[in-house]
Amino acid sequence: MNKDVIFPNHVGIILDGNGRWAEEKGLNRSMGHKKGYENLRKLSLYILNQTKVKYLSVFIFSTDNFKRSKEEVDFLMNLFRISFKSDSKVFEKENIKVIFSGVKDPLPDDVWSSMEYITEKTKNNTGGVLNFCLNYGGQEEIVDATKKILNEVINGNILLEDINKFNFSKYLYNDLPPIDFLIRTSGEERISNFMIYQASYAEFYFPSTYFPDFDENSFDEAIKVYNNRDRRFGSIKK
């Protein structure tokens, strides 16, 4: 890629289309999730090690996804349980720090244990940061942050007037920089409750490619689109 390319600091990806990818190939939807996770592992290493992106947040399971069939949910929970344990060695070796955004309940204990395991194994890594949004909802995150702030005010630790848009992020699940570029694969044009506070000034990109096929070349094409955007943040460029 051209050396003059500008890379976003924080990229968010909504991994959409795994199930449809499988169905169109005559496969069980779960096989699409397996293929999608394998692609995510490979793509995240490329993004955080081969480009200048420092933070990558990926939406892998929302709080609403528990509404899906028991078969599909059970497959995903097992995929997470196994993959986080085994991939801890990969991300530890590649110097990538893994964190999670979301809540514990009603995740199975063994899934939560795997999440804690990979977090602990990679906590001292100094390269890029991979943020898995699992059992996550953007509205829920804002509500939970508001409760934290309220408790801090009640306990006399902070003054209400001290809270502003610049320090509010400290009370979110993770204190991350704003999302610069948000990608949702599969052609769906909505963000579905994904990091709605962090994405307030993000550039959006909605490729029609299903996530299992969204590879390194697809990401490079997305970056070209990002470089053609005019980010003004409410001002006017002269």
**Residue 65 falls in the annotated catalytic set:** yes
**Residue 175 falls in the annotated catalytic set:** no
Please give the pLDDT value at position 230: 87
Please give the pLDDT value at position 236: 60
| Low-confidence spans in the chain with pLDDT less than 70 | 1-2, 233-238
* Residues 6 or more apart in contact with residue 6 via CB below 8 angstroms: 226, 227
What is the Cα–Cα distance from 158 to 193, expressed in whole angstroms?
Answer: 29
Please give the pLDDT value at position 235: 65
By CB atoms closer than 10 A (0-12, 13-18, 19+), residue 10 is buried
Rounded to two decimals, the pTM is: 0.95
Cβ count within 10 A of residue 155: 8
Given the residues 16, 39, 87, 131, the one annotated as active site = 16
What is the Cα–Cα distance from 36 to 19, expressed in whole angstroms?
Answer: 9
What is the Cα–Cα distance from 228 to 6, expressed in whole angstroms?
Answer: 10
Q: What is the DSSP letter of 186?
A: G
What is the Cα–Cα distance from 57 to 149, expressed in whole angstroms?
Answer: 24
Given the residues 2, 4, 49, 65, the one annotated as active site = 65
Q: What does the CA dihedral 103, 12, 143, 69 come to, rounded to 10 degrees?
A: -50
Centroid of chain to Cα 22: 22
Please give the pLDDT value at position 219: 98
- What are the tens digits of pLDDT across the range 166-217? 999 999 999 999 999 999 999 999 999 999 999 999 999 999 999 999 999 9
DSSP E strand boundaries for the chain: 10-14, 55-62, 97-101, 129-136, 181-184, 203-205
What is the Cα–Cα distance from 198 to 57, expressed in whole angstroms?
Answer: 11
